[in-house]
Chain A
Amino acid sequence: MERANASRLVKAGSTTPTAEASHANPNSAERWNPEQALREQKYALDQHAIVATTDVQGTITYVNDKFCAISKYSREELLGQNHRILNSGRHPKEFFQQMYGAVANGEVWHDEICNRAKDGSIYWVDTTVVPFLDACGKPRQYMAIRTDVTERKRAEEAREHLAAVVDSSDDAIISKTLDGTIKTWNRGAERVFGYSPSEAVGKPMLMLIPPERTSEESDILACIRRGESVEHFETVRVRKDGRKIDISATISPIRDGRGAIVGVSKIARDISQRRADEREISNLNERLEQRVLERTAELAAANHELEAFTYSVSHDLRAPLRHIGGFSRILIEDFGPEMAPTARQHLARIADGVHRMGLLVDELLNLARVGRHALNLQATSLNMVVEEVVKLLQPEAEGRAVDWKIASLPSTECDPILIKQVFQNLLANALKFTRPRERAIIEISSRQENGQVIIAVRDNGVGFNMKYSDKLFGVFQRLHRAEDFEGTGIGLATVHRIIHKHGGRVWAEAEPDKGATFYLTLADAGTVELNASEIANQTASAGASV
């Protein structure tokens, strides 16, 4: 088979008049053997090229081994087939028309053809088609000699692909030589810097660098020469129109196939907007901080004023009160016997009013003091606090049947002085509002819920309507008439303030005539936060004690 093909080729070749002449070497020392020379040339050709012959209709009449290998067809499958079997469809009809036109005219045709192998894979061959003419000058057969250029074509395609990516990128992608001369310039670069490729390529990169930053270029190039990349380098560059822009650039060495550094690639992004946003955010933050400082100072000043106010309430309101009380007392004592009984009664009422107002002033001052008081947290046994308070309230429970049911309470981190005030208020209330009961029952208990201790103070007193519960902890808010139950309306406000200061919560459940329960939580020490007002308080009192 091989031999048969070879002889056919030789025969075909031998009809070409120039073949013998070009290969004849009359000076050769060896005896010139044209047949052997042809065989050797064919052998050499087969080592390099893909060779086939077709008749004028395109029917394959000969293929060499390389043809079979690349097309993945066997010789038997190819011989007798039209060459179109390998058509990949990648070339337009005109492409082949042009080729057949040329070779039919006896011209040698040369181009790159994309073919399809038996398994569907695509390959590229650099092709020369040589027509062989008969005696009348008409083509007798065509011989195609091809070289596999698939790899090169793929590389070219990839490069084109890459070029398209580079071109469509929003970022500026620039390459430059190691001495800083711009070599390529994509559309992103044009948009970011304003120069067209023709204006930029061949120019020094320095033209983009503001004068005060020119040293950056030599630093960058030094890095690149050492084989290092510079990543996310944020700097300032100048556009063609002179406007300065903030950019973030990544600069890397370009290496040739052997790894030698031959150039520099730079990918730069315009971050002016981001920078402007960042500056705006930082400005806003500064303004916010400034405002917080101002507000804190205002708050401190307000607290200071409040302190001065409570001081003057303490001194200036109590003094006239004492005078009214004192002189009305002297009146009763020194002139009482001469007075009409109603006059004496009026004076007694004055004394009563003075007494109540004295309590009011004292409790208001106490409430104000709670606000100023810095928390002094200590591990505190709530049972001990409650027992102390119960003892303190003993005079008020005198002559009454009171069941104190005090459960085991936990020890907790709190300010013992303030917490004592809380229980003093809550237990005094419980005692007060159970007064109509034959037997008062006052229970103090605790339970754990979601990792938090809830303390409950329950009484079987007159209770209240829950629809007024929002008023319960307000200053001067009272849910009972003064004739029924005395009080200033400040006690629960004080409780609320103290619990709040501890980071806890206080609430109540009640029903008219069915008693009331007050619940409270105390945040543990870790969650007690100093809020701005407390800090302001502390500064205010620190300032005041100087």
Chain B
Amino acid sequence: MNSSEVDILLVDDSQDDVDLTLHALRAENLANHVFIARDGEEALDFLFCSGPHSGRSFDRPPKLVLLDLKMPKVDGMQVLRRIKGDERTRSIPVVLMTSSREERDMVSGYDLGVNSYLQKPVDFDEFRKMVKLLGLYWLVTNRPPLTNSRPAAAGQAK
């Protein structure tokens, strides 16, 4: 897959969760342009076109970031803070998907500007239903900014 054609950036350290999510996305035909990052660091490299992704361009951001909270190295909350704290990435929709029912996670997620906060249901049917709704909404129903049209000067991290 060409990394410039990514619709969804799926950030999750659990292979099981990745597989289940992909399985659900596939059923809705939404799994063709998914890039998988296995921790926060990889996700940041991808989003900020650095490290192995230095060849990428800010002009083609993913239409959606599906972000797990608990991850090694850089956790989901830190990734979210970087995305929403930088003008180059701020407009990318981010959905936190987590097992946690902790209110404080939800509160700090919204404080940091997350677009949606979802708890992964234990029941697989419900999980599937949720992923379907999510994918259809953000990739089909929602109108994303087509390209990142900000001037280069604003491209510097604040």
| Residue in B99, B104, B123 whose beta carbon sits within 8 Å of that of A319 in the complex | B99
Residues of B contacting A: mostly: loop
Residue pair B20, A323 in contact (C-beta under 8 Å): yes
B67-102 CB mask vs A (1 if < 8 Å, else 0) is 001100000000000000000000000000011111
Chain A residues contacting B98 (CB-CB under 8 Å) are 315
Residue pair B17, A311 in contact (C-beta under 8 Å): no
Chain A min CB distance to B17 (Å): 7
Residue pair A354, B122 in contact (C-beta under 8 Å): yes
Residue pair A315, B20 in contact (C-beta under 8 Å): no
Residue pair B102, A358 in contact (C-beta under 8 Å): no
Chain A min CB distance to B120 (Å): 6
Residue pair A321, B122 in contact (C-beta under 8 Å): yes
Binds B, one of A112-120, A326-334, A517-525: A326-334
Once the chains are docked, how many angstroms separate the CA of A327 from the CA of B127?
12
Q: Does B23 contact A (CB under 8 A)?
A: yes
Residues of A contacting B: mostly: helix
Chain A min CB distance to B92 (Å): 25
Once the chains are docked, how many angstroms separate the CA of A361 from the CA of B100?
12
Q: Does B55 contact A (CB under 8 A)?
A: no
Once the chains are docked, how many angstroms separate the CA of A362 from the CA of B17?
20
| Residue in B16, B20, B23, B99 whose beta carbon sits within 8 Å of that of A318 in the complex | B99
A350-401 residues with Cβ-Cβ distance < 8 A to B are 354-355, 357-358, 361-362, 365
Which of B23, B98, B120, B124: most chain A Cβ within 10 A? B124
A273-328 residues with Cβ-Cβ distance < 8 A to B are 311, 314-316, 318-323, 325-327
Once the chains are docked, how many angstroms separate the CA of A254 from the CA of B92?
97
Once the chains are docked, how many angstroms separate the CA of A353 from the CA of B132?
25
| Residue in A311, A316, A329 whose beta carbon sits within 8 Å of that of B125 in the complex | A329
Chain A residues contacting B29 (CB-CB under 8 Å) are none
- B107 (CB) vs chain A CBs: closest residue: A545
Chain B residues contacting A340 (CB-CB under 8 Å) are none
Once the chains are docked, how many angstroms separate the CA of A354 from the CA of B120?
14
Residue pair A322, B102 in contact (C-beta under 8 Å): no
Chain A residues contacting B20 (CB-CB under 8 Å) are 322-323, 326-327, 330
Q: Does A135 contact B (CB under 8 A)?
A: no
Chain B min CB distance to A357 (Å): 8
| Residue in A323, A330, A365 whose beta carbon sits within 8 Å of that of B17 in the complex | A323
Known pairs A322-B124, A322-B127; A545 contacts B16 (CB<8 A): no
Q: Does A544 contact B (CB under 8 A)?
A: yes
Q: Does B155 contact A (CB under 8 A)?
A: no
Residue pair B102, A311 in contact (C-beta under 8 Å): yes
Once the chains are docked, how many angstroms separate the CA of A311 from the CA of B122?
16
Once the chains are docked, how many angstroms separate the CA of A471 from the CA of B121?
32
Residue pair A365, B99 in contact (C-beta under 8 Å): no
Residue pair B101, A365 in contact (C-beta under 8 Å): yes
Once the chains are docked, how many angstroms separate the CA of A326 from the CA of B120?
11
Residue pair B122, A322 in contact (C-beta under 8 Å): yes
Once the chains are docked, how many angstroms separate the CA of A321 from the CA of B14?
13
Chain A residues contacting B124 (CB-CB under 8 Å) are 322, 325-326, 329-330
Residue pair B122, A318 in contact (C-beta under 8 Å): yes
B100-131 CB mask vs A (1 if < 8 Å, else 0) is 11101000000000000000111111010000
Chain B residues contacting A325 (CB-CB under 8 Å) are 122-124
Chain B min CB distance to A97 (Å): 110
Known pairs A311-B102, A315-B100, A322-B121; A330 contacts B16 (CB<8 A): no
Once the chains are docked, how many angstroms separate the CA of A195 from the CA of B98?
86
Once the chains are docked, how many angstroms separate the CA of A358 from the CA of B122?
6
Residue pair A311, B100 in contact (C-beta under 8 Å): yes
Residue pair B102, A319 in contact (C-beta under 8 Å): no
Chain B min CB distance to A521 (Å): 29
Chain B min CB distance to A194 (Å): 70
Once the chains are docked, how many angstroms separate the CA of A377 from the CA of B123?
35
Residue pair B101, A319 in contact (C-beta under 8 Å): no
Chain A residues contacting B123 (CB-CB under 8 Å) are 325, 354-355, 358
Chain B residues contacting A314 (CB-CB under 8 Å) are 99-102
Known pairs A311-B102, A545-B104; A322 contacts B120 (CB<8 A): yes
Residue pair A319, B17 in contact (C-beta under 8 Å): yes
Once the chains are docked, how many angstroms separate the CA of A35 from the CA of B100?
136
Chain B min CB distance to A460 (Å): 34
Chain A residues contacting B23 (CB-CB under 8 Å) are 326, 330
Once the chains are docked, how many angstroms separate the CA of A329 from the CA of B23?
11
Chain A residues contacting B122 (CB-CB under 8 Å) are 318, 321-322, 325, 354-355, 357-358, 361
Once the chains are docked, how many angstroms separate the CA of A116 from the CA of B121?
114
Once the chains are docked, how many angstroms separate the CA of A192 from the CA of B35?
94
Once the chains are docked, how many angstroms separate the CA of A545 from the CA of B102?
11
Chain B residues contacting A545 (CB-CB under 8 Å) are 104
Once the chains are docked, how many angstroms separate the CA of A544 from the CA of B102?
12
Chain A residues contacting B69 (CB-CB under 8 Å) are 315
Residue pair A544, B104 in contact (C-beta under 8 Å): yes
Once the chains are docked, how many angstroms separate the CA of A60 from the CA of B17?
136
B15-44 CB mask vs A (1 if < 8 Å, else 0) is 011001001000000000000000000000
- B105 (CB) vs chain A CBs: closest residue: A311
Chain B min CB distance to A330 (Å): 6
Residue pair B125, A323 in contact (C-beta under 8 Å): no
- B23 (CB) vs chain A CBs: closest residue: A330
Once the chains are docked, how many angstroms separate the CA of A319 from the CA of B19?
13
Chain A min CB distance to B38 (Å): 15
Once the chains are docked, how many angstroms separate the CA of A361 from the CA of B122?
10
Chain B min CB distance to A404 (Å): 30
- B70 (CB) vs chain A CBs: closest residue: A315
Chain B min CB distance to A438 (Å): 33
Once the chains are docked, how many angstroms separate the CA of A329 from the CA of B123?
10
Contacts A326-B124, A327-B20, A357-B122 known; list 7 others, CB within 8 Å.
A314-B99, A322-B127, A325-B123, A325-B124, A329-B125, A354-B122, A354-B123
Of all A-B residue pairs in the complex, the 6 with the closest CB atoms, nearest first, are: A358-B122, A323-B16, A329-B124, A326-B124, A318-B99, A326-B20
Binding site for B on A (CB under 8 A): 311, 314-316, 318-323, 325-327, 329-330, 354-355, 357-358, 361-362, 365, 544-545
Interface pairs (16), CB distance under 8 Å: A311-B100, A314-B99, A315-B70, A320-B16, A322-B20, A322-B124, A325-B122, A326-B16, A327-B20, A329-B125, A330-B20, A354-B123, A355-B122, A357-B122, A544-B104, A545-B104
Binding site for A on B (CB under 8 A): 14, 16-17, 20, 23, 69-70, 98-102, 104, 120-125, 127
